[in-house]
Chains A and B, each alone.
Chain A
Amino acid sequence: MSRLEAKKPPLFISEPLTRHAVSQSLSLLSGILKSSYGPAGRLKQLHNGVGGCVCTTSQSSALLGHLSVSQPVLRVLTASVQNHVSHFSDCGLFTAILCCGFIENFRSLNIAPFTVIKISKHLLSLCMDHLKSEACGCRVSVDFSSVETLVCLVRSILTSKPACLLNKTEVDHLTSLVLKAFLFTVPCHVETNAVLGKCVIIPVKGRRVEDSTVLPGLLIEVPEIQLGKPLAVKRTGSNMIKLALFSVSMSGDGFNPEEGTIAVHHGVSLEVSELNQLLSVGKQLVKDEVGLVVCQKVMHPSLKQYLKENGVMAVDRAGLCLMEPLGRMTGSQPIASIHLLSPGCYGSLKDLCVESFAPKHFLHLIPEDTVICSLILCNRSETAWDELKHVCETAEQVLRLTMKEPLALLGGGCTETHLASYIRHKSSILPASTFKDLDCSQTQYQLVTEGFCHSLESVARSLSHDGEEILTDMVYGHCWFVPSGAPCVSKWSDFLVSKCGCGMNGNTEDLSWRFLRGQSGSPVIQGCPKEPSVKVSDLLTLDCFAAKCTGLQVALETANLILDLSYITEDQN
């Protein structure tokens, strides 16, 4: 008997942003994210509180993935940042912190959201135009013919997550590995539409980071291989190894129906008939001179035995993530049915060998010419390995994005402060017609501009976690740090470190520094912030251009969307 219950009416919440609970949650979330930002960011331990595994991280994807947020307003924010990270892999915290900053700054302005949105969109377009122009002082072009800028880019990403627990030598080692892996994925012979290859990360946990290495081709873990025996592989006439790749399970349980019931007579064994089917596939493979059979899932031991007795190597449990690169590397079509074997689906390999990274053993599949490589990634602890894996994936993704658009932005807070200086300068010289076009007063425009710049600067301020003060200079608009407790004197150059946040400018001339703190009106730069003529250091801190530009746009658009919310309808059923 079913019981019917009257539907509850939906709950309407008006003006959600004005609610105390929402603003409290927002500031808590923004606090968590800000405290995780940058190379000195603090880590968060994610665990279930009852002895489950502990993930120590400062990555936006891990943090946002594990935080279950109850406020719908915040869920809009986290979903939008997660979406950004899934595409660009970098600048997640930047986007989230900036978005929180926009919401907090604009909300307190007492200007109609409609107007705020209009003005802020205009400011964003100023930013984007500036970032895309040649004259932009906070971007550098990436020269792919030399390794220098690429090293800076990768190193900045590797050092941005302290939970990887890398020391300097390890950072150097991994930087070169990540670059090497990336270069493997670039095709040697470029045709009309070149496609980048893939780098597969192979986990070897519990070992030293220096043991990590890159190999061309793919590695499949083979726990049961006996070392010391030479691999006897059947080769074809052209001295290649023919390979068959199965994506279907060959464990012999294929008769297992999804639904319904099979009735069989006593004495009939489905298992046996299924096994016979598999063995006939095996016969066909032997006849077709296949040398290596790789199965994504499990192979029946009898089939493995049959293949082995006939000189065919069989490897099972290759796993889903190897399938696409395997097919691509060997030119084989993954076989999805054991009833159909077409000769065209076989691929080929140049060679096979066994590689050992204690305690694991791998079969190394070596192709003729490849854009597929394997990064054997080691780190001492589980949690540090997870963090490192994510960072390496990000670095690879950033290199790919940079290849499309060979530009990078200055890191260490310099892009943010530079943009803020630029916007302040630009908005002070706007023609009056602009305000008319935007349908707002000059005061409104200035207030929103201040909020916008302040949000940008608050991202730079989030890099400080130990009470150090943040300054910006009035010449280049870069970001500078002073330890807390430095006396307030006019001659900052004595107390500043030798370089700005990104490492481009030296503390050699008087750059008229000012504090970046509080809402107090900031003096406007006289001219447009300049581009430094000489860079001081070879070790620049650089960020991904595409990811940061998009992050800026996503942050503003999401903030505007949230500011524009006037009702939340909650279905209570």
Chain B
Amino acid sequence: MPMAFRDVNARRHIGLQQLSSLASTGRTFLGPMKSHKFIVDEITNQSTLICSAVRLIESLDLTSAGGQLLNETIQAQNKEFKTGLSTLLFLVGAWSNAVVECLQQNVPVPAIVSVMSEGLNSCCERVQCLQIPIQDVKKELCSCQVRPKASESNTGQVGCDGLTNPWNLLCFQRDASATEEVIPVNSCSHQGDDCNFNKFLVSPLAGFGSVASVVKAVGDRSSSALSGSGGTASSCITRKLTHSRHFSTPGKSHFSRHLSGPSADLGGCCGLGHLAMALSRGNQTGVKLLQSIAAYQQERAECSGSSQINIAEIVTCCVLGLPEGYSCVSPGFVTLVSPEQVAVIKHFAGKPLRIVLMDGDLTEQYRHLGFNRPRNVRTILEHPSPQGSSTGDVWLSRMSDILMSFEVNLVLVKGNVCKNFMERCIASRILVIGGVARDVLCAFGTATGAQAVSYLSQLNASCVGNGAWAELWEPSDGRAVDLGELVPARISAGGLALLTAVLTTALPGKVQLIEDQFWTLLYRLHHALKDGKVFPGGGAVELLCLSHIQALAEQPGWPGNDRAVRWLPSPWLAEYKSIVLQALARGWEQYLSVVLCNTAKAGSELEASASVDNHLQKAAACGSASAYILEEFRRGGVFRGSSDPFLNQVTDLKVCDNVAAKTEAWRRALDLVLLVLQTDAEIITGPRRNEILNSPVSSEFMFL
């Protein structure tokens, strides 16, 4: 009779402690300067580089109930937005701690729940006034774009030439982001090549080790190693690289896109460039890819008039063995194929192909979902055939006969493809590609008129599409690359809406990372367009929340009547209200401090919170907090570090955030904390009574 019951609230709230400790692992992911983490598999000894809360959560042990709920929350946010995850994770931790402190001050649970939930609601309404419609984003960012005032400032010691030449910076940054932990080797190998700025920067530094740490501190998405790097040099570089994202015209890039389509001009006002830039967190490669995607989709959409990014028409293909600079967007479907398939593609030589789409597996055993295989059917063979050909061979010939009779050249299959059949097809010069996503099949269906079938036996003339073609994908500069086993091939068709972002990298451990980063940025842009507005970034929204909470604390009668706290007369509620609102505020305070520290805009959390306080006071003095914050944002960001002349002049740190993704991340984080807060017991179901009885924590359990 297995049912165990554990009192969660024994002394301190175990559930909240679990949340807090799990969440603390993601602290360094906060803000635009994320530190990467290595996830090492102890069994296989393989390691992966990660830089997002989802991947972190995926690699943690989450068997506890709190861990499960946290995972569920993160996955839900990831599924919808692909961004706001580290914010969510951080706030879960910060609010858990703050709520535990409320409990220690004997604030009743319903008062915490009610005040926090209504407080967040009120803040979300308040920050609406900061929203910038996306058409205004373009305007604001266009008006004060690149202002190369560096020559006026006295920052010559680090080399204005390097700064004013955007290409150098870009190049440097690419190196920085390409390298991470293995930086020294990689950055040095590039020095002789085309990146003299890198050499120039590095040369004043003494040792090899500090080179690594500097570069780490600098890269937009790289690590925390600021502490390790020495004084002035590193901080100068940090500042400089912050600007690099504002050199929005890397037109001189000699990795010119070989795309025959619209040019990927970042500075051009084809619309989304500035928005993408503002949302990019310095992911230059990503911005370029997005630019191309936007340009392609806009060209297509000119007739339909929609300005949205259609995510369903975008796929990625990761190509290992090329530097990251070769990443680009190719119209059509780029996928990796085997050398045998390459031979078939070469044989096609650009001729139009007849295409078949299959939405299941292409194997003899495959049956559509929901088909129950008969178990008790016996086949009687009366006349054994003299040829002795097995049933499998019969199937192979039947299927390839079908393909031949419809003169099919290309088969895209959603599931697996039988190996023998693949070989037979290659022999008869039919290209079969397995594991193709549903959206890709749909796009080819629309473009070629092909209709997806589950079995080849279903094929008739109207199911076969026309006008597809296949070719080998080549890097932009035609550089011959030995990519090993699998080779990228591009399959397309007239009018095909599909775009492939070909993501190249030389580091196997980074494949997942760059793919994640690409999708994150794409979703950010997608949601910004969907919301129709963005938040000013760089802590502006959080600052307004803090100032709004101060106002709420002084507002009598708030939060009004709530059934759960109806029994609290006003003097009690007023006292609890201020404690709980402070707890709510602590989440954003800590968020701002950690972001300021991670981005090296503050040396310590103390300094950071002093800076936050300073702004809050100024905002209060100004009368309208939102007006003050918007004004500061227009002048280049709230926390732009005013003490720094260099930053002040060149930076227009117009970073923007998604509206829905941000507020939803807050809400999800608070929901999780409040859900766990209100939980007082765990009930273990299932047949584990003896296990629990024998475990060291058995005394915590009771049995019914």
Contacts and interface: CB of A to CB of B under 8 A. Distances in A.
Q: Do A and B bind each other?
A: yes
A70 B110 contact: no
Contacts of B672: 381
Contacts of B3: 66-70
A270 interface: yes
Contact of B562 (A168, A226, A263, A412): A168
A220 to B, nearest CB: 16
Interface in A160-197: 162-163, 165, 167-169
B303 to A, nearest CB: 13
A159 B374 CA distance: 51
Chain B contact residues, majority secondary structure: mixed
Given A45-B65, A208-B664, A71 B678 contact: no
A226 B442 contact: yes
B10 interface: no
A46 interface: yes
A207 B463 CA distance: 37
Interface in B1-34: 1-5, 8, 15
A29 B565 CA distance: 26
A317 interface: yes
Given A67-B683, A169-B121, A301-B458, A263 B671 contact: no
B454 A301 contact: yes
B74 to A, nearest CB: 11
User: Which of A162, A167, A255 is most buried by chain B, counting CB atoms within 10 A of its CB?
Assistant: A167
B682 to A, nearest CB: 5
A359 B526 CA distance: 14
A249 B370 contact: yes
B606 interface: no
B563 A266 contact: no
Contact of A48 (B80, B109, B569, B688): B688
Contacts of B15: 45
A40 B371 contact: no
A186 to B, nearest CB: 28
B675 A28 contact: no
A169 B125 CA distance: 12
B206 interface: no
Nearest to B569: A497
Contacts of A44: 679-683
A46 B8 CA distance: 12
B684 A382 contact: no
Contact of A39 (B374, B563, B702): B563
Contacts of B551: none
Contacts of A316: 370
B194 interface: no
A437 interface: no
A538 B509 CA distance: 62
B343 interface: no
Interface stretch (B226-234, B376-384, B399-407, B416-424): B376-384
Contacts of A483: 108, 567-569, 572
Contacts of A301: 359-360, 368, 453-455, 458
B703 to A, nearest CB: 8
B685 A46 contact: yes
Contact of A253 (B1, B73, B374): B374
Interface in A252-266: 252-253, 255-257, 259-266
Interface stretch (A50-58, A83-91, A117-125, A564-572): A50-58
Contacts of B680: 35, 42-44
Given A69-B1, A168-B118, A270 B374 contact: yes
A260 B568 contact: no
A501 B566 CA distance: 8
B62 interface: yes
A262 B108 contact: no
Interface string B96-126: 0000000000001110010001100100000
Contacts of B372: 251, 253, 256
A513 interface: no
B370 A298 contact: yes
B678 to A, nearest CB: 5
A262 B607 CA distance: 81
Most B Cβ at <10 Å: residue of A63, A69, A163, A301: A301
A496 B569 contact: yes
Contacts of A346: none
Contact of A251 (B371, B378, B562): B371
Interface residues of B, number: 85
A255 B377 CA distance: 9
Interface in A3-54: 25, 28-29, 32, 35, 39-40, 42-54
B254 interface: no
B46 interface: no
Given A165-B675, A264-B378, A497-B567, A66 B685 contact: yes
Interface in A430-469: 464-468
B68 A261 contact: no
A40 B674 CA distance: 12
B704 interface: yes
Contacts of B563: 39, 156, 159, 412, 541
B69 interface: yes
A297 interface: yes
A380 interface: yes
B390 interface: no
A481 interface: yes
A302 interface: yes
A206 interface: yes
Contacts of A380: 76, 664, 667-668, 671
Contact of A262 (B4, B377, B458, B569): B377
Given A49-B692, A159-B564, A40 B110 contact: yes
Contact of A305 (B76, B373, B458, B679): B458
Contacts of A54: 65, 68-69, 72
B369 interface: yes
A300 interface: yes
Nearest to A269: B379
Interface string B664-704: 10011001101100111111111010001000000000111
A295 B14 CA distance: 49
A52 B683 CA distance: 12
A49 B564 contact: no
B378 A261 contact: yes
A300 B368 contact: yes
19 contacts: A32-B683, A39-B563, A47-B684, A48-B688, A162-B113, A165-B674, A255-B377, A260-B376, A265-B382, A266-B383, A298-B371, A301-B360, A302-B454, A305-B458, A317-B370, A381-B69, A381-B675, A466-B108, A483-B568
Given A42-B109, A47-B683, 5 more contacts: A35-B680, A47-B65, A253-B371, A359-B80, A381-B671
Interface of B: 1-5, 8, 15, 62-63, 65, 68-69, 72-73, 76, 79-80, 108-110, 113, 117-118, 121, 359-360, 368-383, 438, 442, 446, 451, 453-455, 457-458, 462-463, 560-569, 572, 664, 667-668, 671-672, 674-675, 678-686, 688, 692, 702-704
The 10 A-B pairs with the shortest beta carbon distances in the complex, nearest first, are A298-B370, A481-B567, A70-B1, A466-B108, A301-B454, A42-B680, A48-B686, A51-B63, A266-B381, A49-B684
